[in-house]
Homo-oligomer: A and B are copies of this chain.
Amino acid sequence: MNEIENITVGAVLKQIRKSKKMSQEELAHRSSLDRTYISMLERNIKQPTITTIFLLSEALGLKPSEFVNLLEDEFVGYTIKRTTV
């Protein structure tokens, strides 16, 4: 079984944002988040809280559960192993 430490949103976030032809700066403005933070999310350096998921989804025009559903598809077959046990 494949193991990962965290759920990362970079691929999904970038894909949706590009499909909406939106820049990081525009997404940052619409979600009232920082542009450099959006960049970090897309490069999988940070992971968002549930509130940030809601903000991003709203700004991208889809439901948070739809966003999360795309994450599920990406991480099918993976289990999360906690490093700090």
- Residues on A facing B (Cβ under 8 Å): 6-7, 9, 32, 47-51, 53-55, 58, 63-66, 68-69, 71-72, 75, 80, 82, 85
Contacts and interface: CB of A to CB of B under 8 A. Distances in A.
Nearest to A55: B80
A50 B7 contact: yes
Nearest to A5: B51
A77 to B, nearest CB: 13
Given A68-B64, A68-B65, A47 B51 contact: yes
B54 A7 contact: yes
A7 to B, nearest CB: 5
A41 to B, nearest CB: 10
